[in-house]
C-alpha cells in the first residue's frame, strides 16, 4: 500500500451514526486511511449525516460548500457522504454538489472499501441499496486497539413501526436484528479491549429478535461476560416493552437504571394521528410497572410539539403526562414535515404557536431535570471513570443514571468503577466525593 492517507469523519445525529462512523473508519483502514481530527490534513472527508428533521440536507450542502477552499488547494481531496441524507438524496447529492465523489447509504457500508478503491481510479461511487446480506458480516474485523471504557454496539437497525412523522423506516429500512452470537462475540472483544460499559443500539432496540428471549435474553447473556460492568440500551418503543425486559430492570444488576422511552405526545388523539399504536394511559402503565420493579429508574423521553392537528388541549395533555411521569432528562422537538411521510400531507400548526409550545414544554422538562439532579445530592452512586476532567486530578464519568459526574481523586483512574457520594448538582452535571473503588 502506498503511504498512509488521512480520513476526516464528521458525524451528525444519533448514537448509531457514532457507531457507524467508527466502523466505516475501521473499514477504510484497509484502504490505507488513518483518522485525522483536522479536515485540512485530510485526503478524504466523510460526512455521516442525519435526516430526522428539516434542513438536514441543506446543512450538508453548506458544510460541503465550506470545504471548497480545501478542494481548490488539494484537487485530489475526496468527499464522501454517508448516512440517512445519503440514503434519502442518493445521486441528487452529486448533481447538486459535483465535488462529492462517494455516496453511501447506511445499509451499504460494507461496500465502502471497494467504493473507495474505485475513487482512486478517478471514478465516482454511489450505493444506496438495501442489500439482503448483513453489512456487519462483511465489514472488516474490528481493530484490536485499547478502547474507551464505554462503547456503543449496534444490535438492531431499521424500523417497521412507521410513525406518521418519521423518515427512519425509509432511510434505515425494515427492522433487522443481528444474531446474538455475533453480538456476544463483538461484546467480548470490546471487553478484551478495555470496555466496561456497553450501550446496545437500535432504532427500535427493544424489538430485537436476534435472541430467542428477545432483548432481555441478550441482556442476560451479556451480563454473564466477566469484566463487563454495565449494560444500557436505546431507543425503545413502548409497545415492545415486554414482561421479560421490564423484569430485567428489576433483576439484572448490570442493567443500569436509566430508560429512554419516547412517547412523543400525551394526547390520545395525536398519538392516534401519529400512528403510535398506544395511548397515553398504556404508556403510563408501562412506566408504573417499570418503577414497581426498579423504583429509582430515571426516565428519558422524546416529544414532538405542533404535530398537525395539535390543539392547545392536546398540548395540555402532553404537559400533564410529563407531570405525571417526572422525567430525569428528555428531548423535545418542533414537528418538522418530512417529505414522503404520511404526516407531511397534513396542514401544519402555525409556527409561532409550535415554538411557544416547545418553550413551555422545555421549561417544564428542564425543571424536572434540575429536580432529578438535585435529588442526587447526598446519595451514593457508582461512576465509571471515562476521562480526565479539566481540573488537575479530576475524573469525569457517568453515574448509574447516565448523569455526568466530576470527581477529584488520585485513588482511581480511567476504566475504574468508583463509589462516590454526590455533593453538588447543576442542571447538567454532578460533583461527587470519592468513597471507594468497587471494580
Compute the distance between CA of residue 263 and CA of residue 6 in angstroms, rounded to an integer: 42
Candidate list 150, 166, 231, 376; residue touching ligand SF4; CB under 6 A: 166
Of residues 51 and 78, the one with the C-beta less far from ligand 5AD: 51
Look up cell 441482556; give the residue: 219
Candidate list 110, 135, 237, 294; residue touching ligand SF4; CB under 6 A: 237
Of residues 196 and 237, the one with the C-beta less far from ligand SF4: 237
- Contact call for residues 130 and 84 (beta carbons, < 8 A): no
- Contact call for residues 429 and 405 (beta carbons, < 8 A): yes
Which one of ligand 5AD, ligand SF4, none is in contact with 335 (Cβ closer than 5 to 8 A by kind)?
ligand 5AD
- Contact call for residues 24 and 112 (beta carbons, < 8 A): yes
Any contact of residue 162 with ligand SF4 (CB under 6 A)?
yes
**Residue 392: Cβ within 10 Å count:** 8
Binders of ligand SF4: how many residues, by CB under 6 A? 10
By Cβ distance, which residue is nearest to ligand 5AD? 302
- Contact call for residues 193 and 144 (beta carbons, < 8 A): yes
Compute the distance between CA of residue 210 and CA of residue 199 in angstroms, rounded to an integer: 16
Choose the binding region for ligand 5AD from 192-200, 221-229, 328-336, 356-364 (rule: CB under 6 A).
328-336
Which one of ligand SF4, ligand 5AD, none is in contact with 336 (Cβ closer than 5 to 8 A by kind)?
ligand 5AD
Compute the distance between CA of residue 392 and CA of residue 371 in angstroms, rounded to an integer: 29
Q: Going residue by residue from 236 to 265, which x/- string records binding to ligand 5AD, judged by CB under 6 A?
A: --------------------------x-x-
Candidate list 110, 276, 338, 398; residue touching ligand 5AD; CB under 6 A: 338
Of residues 264 and 399, the one with the C-beta less far from ligand 5AD: 264
Angle at 326 between CA 308 and CA 256, to 5 degrees: 110
Which one of ligand SF4, ligand 5AD, none is in contact with 434 (Cβ closer than 5 to 8 A by kind)?
none
Of residues 113 and 169, the one with the C-beta less far from ligand SF4: 169
In our burial notation (b when 16+ CB lie closer than 10 A, e otherwise), range 118-144 reads ebeeeeebbbbeeeeebbbeebeebee
From residue 213, how far is each of 221, 325, 417 by CA, in Å?
A: 10, 28, 29
Compute the distance between CA of residue 238 and CA of residue 245 in angstroms, rounded to an integer: 11
Any contact of residue 168 with ligand SF4 (CB under 6 A)?
yes
**Residue 227: Cβ within 10 Å count:** 12
Which one of ligand SF4, ligand 5AD, none is in contact with 161 (Cβ closer than 5 to 8 A by kind)?
ligand SF4
Any contact of residue 161 with ligand SF4 (CB under 6 A)?
yes
Angle at 401 between CA 397 and CA 406, to 5 degrees: 30
Of residues 162 and 333, the one with the C-beta less far from ligand 5AD: 333
Candidate list 53, 71, 277, 414; residue touching ligand 5AD; CB under 6 A: 53
Choose the binding region for ligand SF4 from 79-87, 106-114, 158-166, 249-257 (rule: CB under 6 A).
158-166
- Contact call for residues 185 and 218 (beta carbons, < 8 A): no
Of residues 256 and 304, the one with the C-beta less far from ligand 5AD: 304
Q: What are the residues binding ligand 5AD (CB under 6 A)? A: 52-53, 165-166, 262, 264, 302, 304, 333, 335-336, 338
What is the binding site for ligand SF4 (CB under 6 A)? Answer: 159, 161-163, 166, 168-169, 203-204, 237
Amino acid at each position: 500500500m502506498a503511504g498512509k492517507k488521512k480520513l476526516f469523519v464528521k458525524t451528525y445525529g444519533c448514537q448509531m451514526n457514532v457507531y457507524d462512523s467508527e466502523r466505516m473508519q475501521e473499514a477504510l483502514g484497509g484502504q490505507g486511511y488513518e483518522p485525522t481530527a483536522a479536515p485540512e490534513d485530510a485526503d478524504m472527508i466523510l460526512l455521516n449525516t442525519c435526516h430526522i428533521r428539516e434542513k438536514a440536507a441543506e446543512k450538508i450542502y453548506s458544510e460541503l460548500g465550506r470545504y471548497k477552499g480545501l478542494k481548490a488547494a488539494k484537487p485530489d481531496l475526496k468527499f464522501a457522504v454517508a448516512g440517512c441524507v445519503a440514503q434519502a438524496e442518493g445521486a441528487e447529492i452529486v448533481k447538486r454538489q459535483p465535488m462529492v465523489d462517494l455516496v453511501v447509504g447506511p445499509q451499504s457500508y460494507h461496500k465502502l472499501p471497494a467504493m473507495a478503491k474505485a475513487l482512486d481510479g478517478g471514478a465516482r461511487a454511489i450505493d444506496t441499496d438495501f442489500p439482503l446480506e448483513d453489512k456487519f458480516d462483511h465489514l472488516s474485523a474490528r481493530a484490536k486497539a485499547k478502547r474507551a471504557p464505554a462503547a456503543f454496539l449496534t444490535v438492531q437497525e431499521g424500523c417497521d413501526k412507521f410513525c406518521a412523522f418519521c423518515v427512519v423506516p425509509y432511510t434505515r429500512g425494515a427492522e433487522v436484528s443481528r444474531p446474538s452470537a455475533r453480538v456476544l462475540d463483538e461484546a467480548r472483544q470490546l471487553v478484551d479491549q478495555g470496555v466496561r460499559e456497553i450501550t446496545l443500539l437500535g432504532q427500535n432496540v427493544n424489538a430485537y429478535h436476534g435472541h430467542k428471549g428477545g432483548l432481555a435474553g441478550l441482556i442476560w447473556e451479556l451480563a454473564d461476560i466477566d469484566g463487563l460492568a454495565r449494560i444500557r440500551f436505546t431507543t425503545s418503543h413502548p409497545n415492545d416493552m415486554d414482561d421479560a425486559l421490564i423484569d430485567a430492570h428489576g433483576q439484572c444488576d448490570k442493567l443500569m437504571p436509566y430508560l429512554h422511552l419516547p412517547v412523543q405526545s400525551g394526547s390520545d388523539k395525536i398519538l392516534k394521528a401519529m400512528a403510535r399504536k398506544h395511548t397515553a394511559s398504556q404508556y403510563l402503565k408501562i412506566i408504573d410497572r417499570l418503577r414497581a420493579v426498579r423504583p429509582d429508574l430515571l426516565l428519558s423521553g422524546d416529544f414532538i410539539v405542533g404535530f398537525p392537528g395539535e390543539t392547545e388541549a392536546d398540548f395540555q395533555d402532553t404537559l400533564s403526562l410529563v407531570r405525571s411521569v417526572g422525567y430525569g432528562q428528555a428531548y423535545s422537538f418542533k414537528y418538522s414535515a418530512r417529505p414522503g411521510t404520511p404526516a407531511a400531507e397534513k396542514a401544519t400548526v402555525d409556527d409561532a404557536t409550535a415554538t411557544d409550545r416547545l418553550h413551555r414544554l422545555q421549561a417544564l422538562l428542564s425543571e424536572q431535570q434540575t429536580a432529578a439532579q438535585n435529588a442526587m445530592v447526598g446519595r451514593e452512586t457508582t461512576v465509571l471513570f471515562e476521562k480526565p476532567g479539566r481540573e488537575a486530578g479530576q475524573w469525569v464519568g457517568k453515574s448509574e443514571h447516565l448523569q455526568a459526574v466530576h470527581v477529584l481523586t488520585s485513588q482511581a483512574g480511567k476504566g475504574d468503577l468508583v463509589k462516590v457520594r454526590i455533593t453538588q448538582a447543576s442542571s447538567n452535571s454532578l460533583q461527587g466525593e470519592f468513597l471507594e473503588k468497587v471494580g
